Amino acid sequence: MRQLIAGNWKMFGLTQEAAAIATPLLAAGPLGRDLLVCPPATQIAAVARILAGSPVAIGGQDCHTEVQGAHTGDISAAMLRDAGASHVILGHSERRQNHGETDELVQAKVRAAVAAGLTPIVCVGESDAERQAGWETGVVGKQLKGSLPDDFAGIIAYEPLWAIGTGRTATEGDVAAMHRFIRETLARRFGAAGESISILYGGSVRPANAASLLAVPHVGGALVGGASLNAGQFLEIARA
Ligand code: PGA
């Protein structure tokens, strides 16, 4: 299975900035890994135009559970797809924390994304306090159980909260243990299908640590925040 390097731009990227990140990706050449960029919703269509005909895929960062309706300010999976997206990040910890998203809501969004033809990337991860208490697998296990529908076909991203945007990366040992736990959990629930679900690692992935993190067993790629806002760094990670 090819590894996926996904860039989560979060709430960054006016028109010129988005073009400056996306345009150099056209000249990336063969990488041996797949690339995905997830710009803010306002830039999806523009980035899709820039990257048209290239192998770089485009994703959203969230979607609503419904196809359309009276939901001021929300964006449906069908709208993301219509703008040029093939993927969508769901249940990112910033949405779970800042918007009170529950596992149940994330699961409803996963169903909506799949119904619209998008590949969901479902984020899970424990807080610092939860890890200190030794609850990390319990927390992640509960998130997987609640956030994934029984017919799940998509991607998982393990992002320990204490590693996001902090420069504090999980050790290879932490990542290996958690990715093995997630793989076993998926295999128990989904059987053979669970073996082929990609599990990305996210949290302060940088060019300097990418090669070692991407070499850990059961790591199917990276979900990159800060470093994905710089095309050079993003491509260095993809080549690591
Ligand atoms: P970071 O963000 O790479 O800036 O730590 C990762 C993420 O939140 O997806």
pLDDT, tens digit, 9 for 90 and up, residues 136-150: 999 999 999 999 999
Yes or no: say if 122 and 154 are a contact pair by the CB < 8 Å rule: yes
User: Tens digits of per-residue pLDDT, 35-67?
Assistant: 999 999 999 999 999 999 999 999 999 999 999
Residues 64, 87, 159, 218: which is the catalytic one? Answer: 159
* Residue 3: predicted pLDDT: 98
pLDDT in tens, 178-210: 999 999 999 999 999 999 999 999 999 999 999
Nearest CA to ligand 1 atom 9: 225
> Taking 90 as the threshold, does the pLDDT of residue 169 lie above it?
no
Does residue 1 surpass a pLDDT of 90? no
Atom from ligand 1 closest to the CA of residue 123: 9
**Mean pLDDT throughout 101-108?**
98
159: annotated active-site residue: yes
Q: Which residues line ligand 1 (CB under 6 A)?
A: 8, 159, 164-165, 202-205, 223-227
Q: What angle separates helix 136-147 from helix 172-190, to the nearest 10 degrees? A: 40
CA angle 165, 176, 228 (to 5 degrees): 30
Q: How far is the CA of 191 from the centre of ligand 1 (A)?
A: 30
In words, the CATH class of domain 90-159+173-200 is alpha beta
In the chain, where the domains are located: 90-159+173-200
pLDDT of residue 30: 86
Give me the pLDDT at residue 98, please: 97
Burial of 172 by CB count in 10 Å (0-12 exposed, 13-18 middle, 19+ buried)? middle
